């Protein structure tokens, strides 16, 4: 059986005020309540409360990481799936668009940071008061429509606060220290994660990302000196366009490095099955008019796992076979804790490297590449130039 849940998002899930219990983590609390309901009621629907898989994609995958490290979620699930997760990912300045600041962690904020976001985003609503209770009472009295009119008020809270009962410590720190629930994990990313965000900001919406834009983006993200080294490593001449060069830089630096570090931390303690979705002809399901090669874009693997009325009718026969194989892997993992089942191509577990920071000259942890005409191992470390990014920091 499959259970999908609604939970509070944006300002409703992340609002934080001094003295407000649970501040900054209401969304995770909603999810935990749903998991508790599943435990208590699964049998009535033919389910097994002792075999629960929690799964998420993108921000949802970060939520799964939150539950992995949350003491309050212990025992509520027995497998975890994280697709395009951001659990140990940082964010260089400008990576998500011009003017977007950098953060040491993509989705995690301290309680004080969540309170500061609340103050900034609600300042125009006329509810600011030195007494948090009055601020909260004022906000609660406002119509939801009024709150939603504040620009960016939903995206600004695309984060989880830690330092509370739900997340007592920073999840990346907990993962690296082995302080998380011992359940098998299926985790991965797409080959071209960041093309989604570059395309949606530039070429796919009619604004060409130029050579000059590339230079400015590199300097903003890495500083003038390091930007020169990155540009030498990723020259625009090696790519069809400056936009694809920039997308590759951030895919490798932010997404792939974060995914690799996540797998290394997890696999030292639990079985991990790592994958990379690599169908560069995956149907784009967003209504974008511009001409841009999205490749194997962020969340492009999801229609292959769950029915999608926009993407699925455009599948080729090979893509339909890939979809069936991927669905088989995921179902087997949910059932047994391993994706190996029947006639599916073998998928060995990920084995971590010899130690933090050491080169992978003689050992390549197993990552399963998922593409229409090839399912098998990929050297994820080499493919995403992680030797360069680990060397340069």
pLDDT value at residue 393: 65
Domain membership of residue 386 (yes or no) is no
Question: The CATH number of the domain where 271 resides is what?
Answer: 3.40.50.1820
- Taking the C-alpha atoms of residue 65 and residue 49, their distance in angstroms, rounded to an integer, is 20
Our count of domains for the chain comes to 1
pLDDT value at residue 341: 82
User: Residue 272: CB partners within 8 Å, gap ≥ 6?
Assistant: 184, 185, 186, 187, 263, 266, 349, 350
pLDDT tens digits for the chain (393 residues)? Answer: 899 999 999 999 999 999 899 999 999 999 999 999 999 999 999 999 999 999 999 999 999 999 999 999 999 999 999 999 889 999 999 999 999 999 999 999 999 999 999 999 999 999 988 899 999 999 999 999 999 999 999 999 999 999 999 999 999 999 999 999 999 999 999 999 999 999 999 999 999 999 999 999 999 999 999 999 999 999 999 999 999 999 999 999 999 999 999 999 999 999 999 999 999 999 998 888 778 999 999 999 999 999 888 899 999 999 999 999 999 999 999 999 999 888 899 999 999 977 655 555 556 899 999 999 999 999 999 999 999 999 876
Q: Is 32:67 a contact under the CB 8 Å cutoff? A: yes
pLDDT value at residue 86: 86
Domain membership of residue 172 as a residue range = 10-204+256-381
**Residue (of 203, 356, 385, 158) closest to 294 by Cα position:** 203
Three-state SS for the chain is: CCCCCCCCCHHHHHCCCCCCCCCCCHHHHHHHHHHHHHHHHHHHHCCCCCCCEEEEECHHHHHHHHHHHCHHHCCCCCEEEEECCCCCCCECCCCCCCCCCCECCCCEEEHHHHHHHHHHHHHHHCCCCCCHHHHHHHHHHCCHHHHHCCCCCCHHHCCEEECCCCCCCCHHHHHHCCCCCCCCEEEEEECCCCHHHHHHHCHHHCCCCCHHHHHHHHHHHHCHHHHHHHHHHCCHHHCCCHHHHHHHHHHHHHHHHHHHHHHHHHHCCCCEEEEEECCCCCCCCCCCCCCCCCCCCCCCCHHHHCCCCCCHHHCCHHHHHHHHHHHHHHHHHHHHCCCCCCCCCCCCCCCCCCCCCCCCCCCCCCEEEEECCEEEECCHHHHCCHHHHHHHC
- The residue assigned the tokens 């470390």 is 381
pLDDT value at residue 359: 54
Domain membership of residue 146 (yes or no) is yes
Tokens of 99: 């003017």
Domain membership of residue 393 (yes or no) is no
């Amino acid at each position: 059986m499959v259970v999908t849940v609604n939970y509070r998002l944006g300002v409703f899930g992340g609002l934080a005020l001094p003295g407000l219990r649970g501040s900054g983590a209401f969304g995770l609390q909603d999810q935990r309540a749903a998991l508790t309901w599943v435990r208590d009621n699964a049998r009535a629907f033919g389910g097994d409360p002792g075999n629960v898989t929690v799964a998420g994609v993108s921000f949802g995958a970060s939520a799964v990481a939150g539950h992995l490290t949350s003491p309050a979620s212990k025992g509520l699930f027995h497998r975890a799936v994280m697709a395009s997760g951001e659990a140990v990912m940082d964010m260089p300045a400008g990576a998500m668009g011009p003017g977007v600041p950098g953060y040491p962690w993509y989705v995690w904020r301290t309680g004080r940071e969540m309170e500061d976001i609340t103050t900034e985003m609600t300042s125009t609503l006329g509810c600011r008061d030195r007494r948090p209770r009055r601020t909260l009472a004022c906000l609660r009295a406002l119509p939801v429509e009024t709150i939603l009119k504040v620009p960016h008020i939903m995206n600004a809270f695309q984060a989880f606060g830690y330092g509370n009962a739900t997340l007592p410590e920073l999840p990346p720190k907990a993962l690296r220290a082995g302080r998380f629930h011992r359940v098998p994990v299926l985790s991965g990313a797409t080959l071209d994660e960041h093309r989604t965000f570059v395309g949606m900001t530039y070429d796919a919406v009619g604004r060409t990302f130029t050579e000059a834009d590339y230079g400015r983006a590199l300097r903003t993200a890495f500083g003038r000196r390091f930007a020169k080294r990155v540009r030498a490593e990723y020259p625009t001449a090696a790519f069809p366009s400056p936009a694809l060069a920039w997308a590759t830089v951030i895919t490798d630096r932010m997404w792939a490095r974060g995914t690799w570090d996540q797998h290394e931390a997890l696999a030292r303690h639990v079985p991990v099955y790592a994958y990379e979705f690599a169908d560069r002809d995956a149907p784009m399901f967003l209504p974008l008019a511009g001409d841009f090669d999205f490749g194997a874009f962020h969340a492009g693997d999801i229609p292959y796992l769950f029915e999608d009325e926009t993407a699925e009718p455009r599948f080729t026969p090979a893509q339909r076979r890939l979809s069936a194989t991927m669905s088989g892997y995921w179902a087997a993992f949910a059932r047994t804790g391993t994706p190996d089942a029947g006639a599916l191509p073998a998928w060995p577990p990920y084995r971590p490297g010899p130690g933090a920071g050491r080169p992978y000259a003689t050992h390549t942890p197993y990552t399963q590449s998922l593409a229409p005409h090839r399912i098998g191992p990929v050297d994820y470390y080499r493919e995403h130039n992680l030797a360069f990014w680990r060397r340069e920091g």
